[in-house]
């Protein structure tokens, strides 16, 4: 990225680049890498010991969380997000896959009949993103939904990413929330926690 760009321009430039690359992934690549990433998550003590997990439900070519999350509903409290106007998310118990329906951004969400859990108090959060660096900085989609939510969370924040989404230096601002760990198909990057 040109060094003359300000942080906002750098983020915009990087978002465009990463979205294009992710859109260009073949489903076989997504499936294989996602399987390896989720296997690494399954191997984390933080995941095995977590009783309550806030988890994103993947869309398109994001790291696919469906098998990981679907396989955990019987022994964990899995909370999935619903997006609302104003950059706010509420978290609702995921009980079964069949009850989910596309929400505000086309992302699968729990039904209206499932009440919000306030506050969610997760032991662990699975966090999506477009790009990350090894210091735990995260580039999201720009709506601020996760930064607002994560600001009040004490649980372990684990991002899921393809190895090519790890960049040398992510532009960040004071309000951006850092990840505790990043899991890719190749490695677990422990940033700021010993609770893995």
- Report whether 3 belongs to an annotated binding site: no
- Report whether 138 belongs to an annotated binding site: yes
Tokens of 165: 């989404």
pLDDT of residue 188: 96
Tell me how far apart the alpha carbons of residues 25 and 28 are, in angstroms, rounded to a whole number.
8
- Report whether 142 belongs to an annotated binding site: yes
Whether 1 is in a domain gets the answer no
- Report whether 143 belongs to an annotated binding site: yes
**Number of domains into which the chain is organized:** 1
Q: Which residues in the chain show pLDDT less than 50?
A: 2-4
Whether 195 is in a domain gets the answer no
Q: Is this prediction's pTM over 0.85?
A: yes
- Report whether 43 belongs to an annotated binding site: no
Residue 60: give the domain boundaries: 7-190
Whether 153 is in a domain gets the answer yes
pLDDT of residue 194: 63
pLDDT of residue 87: 80
- Report whether 13 belongs to an annotated binding site: yes
pLDDT of residue 3: 47
Instruction: Report the 10 Å Cβ neighbour count for 112.
Output: 9
CATH of the domain at 16: 3.40.50.10420
- Report whether 44 belongs to an annotated binding site: no
pLDDT of residue 4: 46
pLDDT of residue 174: 79
- Report whether 14 belongs to an annotated binding site: yes
- Report whether 146 belongs to an annotated binding site: yes
Tell me how far apart the alpha carbons of residues 24 and 162 are, in angstroms, rounded to a whole number.
13
pLDDT of residue 137: 94
- Report whether 24 belongs to an annotated binding site: no
Whether 196 is in a domain gets the answer no
- Report whether 11 belongs to an annotated binding site: yes
- Report whether 140 belongs to an annotated binding site: yes
pLDDT of residue 158: 97
Tell me how far apart the alpha carbons of residues 21 and 15 are, in angstroms, rounded to a whole number.
10
In 3D space, the residue among 159, 118, 125, 149 whose CA is nearest the CA of residue 50 turns out to be 125
């Amino acid at each position: 990225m040109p060094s003359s760009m300000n942080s906002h321009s750098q983020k915009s430039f990087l978002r465009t680049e990463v979205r294009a690359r992710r859109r260009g992934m073949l489903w076989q690549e997504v499936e294989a890498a996602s399987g390896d990433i989720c296997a690494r998550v399954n191997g984390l003590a933080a995941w095995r010991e977590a009783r309550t997990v806030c988890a994103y439900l993947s869309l398109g070519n994001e790291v696919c969380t469906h098998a990981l999350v679907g396989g955990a509903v019987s022994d964990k409290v899995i909370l999935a997000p619903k997006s609302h106007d104003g950059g706010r998310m509420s978290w609702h118990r995921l009980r079964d896959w069949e009850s989910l329906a596309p929400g505000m951004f086309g992302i699968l969400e729990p039904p209206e009949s499932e009440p919000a859990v306030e506050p969610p108090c997760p032991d662990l959060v699975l966090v999506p993103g477009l790009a990350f660096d090894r210091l735990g900085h995260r580039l999201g989609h720009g709506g601020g939904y996760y930064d607002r939510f994560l600001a009040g969370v004490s649980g372990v924040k684990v991002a899921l990413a393809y190895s090519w989404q790890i960049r040398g230096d992510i532009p960040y601002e004071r309000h951006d929330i850092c990840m505790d760990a990043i899991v890719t198909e190749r490695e677990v990057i422990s940033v700021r926690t010993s609770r893995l």
